[in-house]
Amino acid sequence: MTSQLPPRLATALRRRDWLISAWPWRALAYLISTVPIAGLLAVGLLVIGAPLLAAANGLLLHGRPPGVALVLFLAVGSLTLLALAPIVSYPVAVIERWRLGLVDNRPLPAAPWPGLVARYRSAATWREVAYLFWLGGFAPVAYWVFLLLVLLDVGMITSPWLAGDAEPVVIWRPIESTGEAIPYAIVAVLLLPVFCYAAGLLAATQAAVARWALAWPVDTAALREVARSRTRLVGAYEAERRRIERDLHDGAQPRLTSLTLQLGLARLDVPEDSPAARPLAVAHDQARGLMVMLRQLVHGIRPQSLTDLGLAGAASELADAATIPVTVHADLDGELPEIVETTAYFVVSEALGNVARHAGATHAEVRLSRAGGDLVVEVADDGRGGADPTRGTGLTGLADRIAAVDGRLLLSSPPGGPTLVRVELPCRR
């Protein structure tokens, strides 16, 4: 069954039913669970940041240069911080990838531990370090500003009950009576949905930064091979199509033409009231129809379910026929080019076949969506991972089929799983 639920918070925010869905609570859980992590990181950064700010303030405002001891402390502390950051960032990145599932259902595979030396030499490591500093530096500031605004709103809501105390309530100005506080309380209540959307936007922004910084880098060598296969397959496909057309024209078509002619002559020799006249006429018509059908087969075979149900329905049909539970999420609008729709169908079919044969998975997920001018197909499973195109899993043929329509195949399958196959197909007409 096809589901129209959005796969991530950023998409859900644009829906009218966002406030009455589960997404606000998921965003709140994501924000709250960020507080202890960001708080610990902020304390670590303040050990160096606070003396550095104090030294800069003394130099700029009072012209007083920092002492030798402070400079030595800052130098040693900064070097120590940079040396420990790649190690500290690894467990933080593991937790952040797991927490990202609260606001983004798209899988983000974890990077395996590459070894201590390789950890310092990897570009992906320093992206995680950058996210570490972002989480400990920017996130606490943004969270404090948001918390102060929320507390101000709560104070405005409760001001009618607090205005009767001995001390006046101060919001924008002192409020001494309940009547003065009521307008502020009404405005504050009306602002509650705005704060819900603001919390969702804050969580979506943090999730976007986390996905960008923590995404496992794509194997560039594999992508180059996919790009090279585009030219290879297009040439092979055109050569094979011309060979089939030539064989039909020079071999099957003359025989069918001769057969059709012989059947036509036989019809002329057989009286119309003969018992053989009717079967002979049927055979003559079938021979002519066979020639038309063979010409159509040369130009490609299109699954009937695509014609009857569309891509989303055909993908659901494949999911129902799978040997493990498969969830389909489709968010498609507008008509797709026939070649793109057919290619996407075979991507889902081949990927689910690989899951059943090789992954040892208990569940798989198919996502169909539009991103700009592309159709994006994602097939994820919770299997053992380790998919390798060189081991005959069908991924090489799948990459060639995608390259033929100028598409792109991205594969993430670390040992231990999970596996994600992402295909981007341009929808140019």
Tens of pLDDT, residues 203-241: 999 988 888 888 765 555 555 665 566 556 655 665 665
Asked if 15 and 21 touch (Cβ cutoff 8 Å), the reply is yes
**Residue-level pLDDT at 113:** 74
CA gap 216, 51 in Å, rounded: 35
Q: Is the pLDDT of residue 242 over 50?
A: yes
Measured CA angle at 274 (ends 269, 280), to 5 deg: 65
CA gap 127, 90 in Å, rounded: 11
Supply the DSSP string of 340-356, one letter for each residue. HHHHHHHHHHHHHHHII
Asked if 428 and 373 touch (Cβ cutoff 8 Å), the reply is yes
Q: Which of 4, 37, 90 is nearest to 12 (CA)?
A: 4
Average pLDDT over residues 126-132: 86
Average pLDDT over residues 256-285: 76
DSSP-derived pairing of the beta strands 408-412 and 419-426: antiparallel
Supply the DSSP string of 168-194, one letter for each residue. PEESSSEE-SHHHHHHHHHHHHHTHHH
82 exposure class (CB count in 10 Å sphere: 0-12, 13-18, 19+): exposed
Residue 412, H or E segment = strand 408-412
**pTM of the predicted protein model:** 0.50
184-188's contacts with Cβ under 8 Å and 24+ in sequence apart are 184/156, 184/159, 185/156, 185/157, 185/158, 185/159, 185/160, 187/156, 188/153, 188/154, 188/156, 188/157
Q: How confident is the model at residue 361 (pLDDT cuts 50, 70, 90)?
A: confident
Residues forming beta bridges with residue 423, ordered by sequence position: 377, 409
Q: How confident is the model at residue 104 (pLDDT cuts 50, 70, 90)?
A: confident
Q: Which of 371, 362, 275, 263 is nearest to 322 (CA)?
A: 362
Average pLDDT over residues 251-256: 70
Q: How confident is the model at residue 32 (pLDDT cuts 50, 70, 90)?
A: very high
CA gap 232, 397 in Å, rounded: 11
Longest dimension (CA), the chain: 120
User: Which CATH superfamily groups domain 304-426?
Assistant: Histidine kinase-like ATPase, C-terminal domain (3.30.565.10)
Q: What are the boundaries of each domain within the chain?
A: 19-214, 234-298, 304-426
Instruction: Please give the structure tokens belonging to residue 278.
Output: 């009717």
The per-residue pLDDT for range 130-139, each reduced to its tens digit, is 888 888 888 8
Q: Is the pLDDT of residue 298 over 60?
A: no
Q: Which is higher by pLDDT, 156 or 202?
A: 202
Residues forming beta bridges with residue 410, ordered by sequence position: 422
Q: Is the pLDDT of residue 61 over 80?
A: no
Q: Report whether the peptide linkage leading into residue 418 is cis, meaning its omega lies within 30 degrees of zero.
A: yes
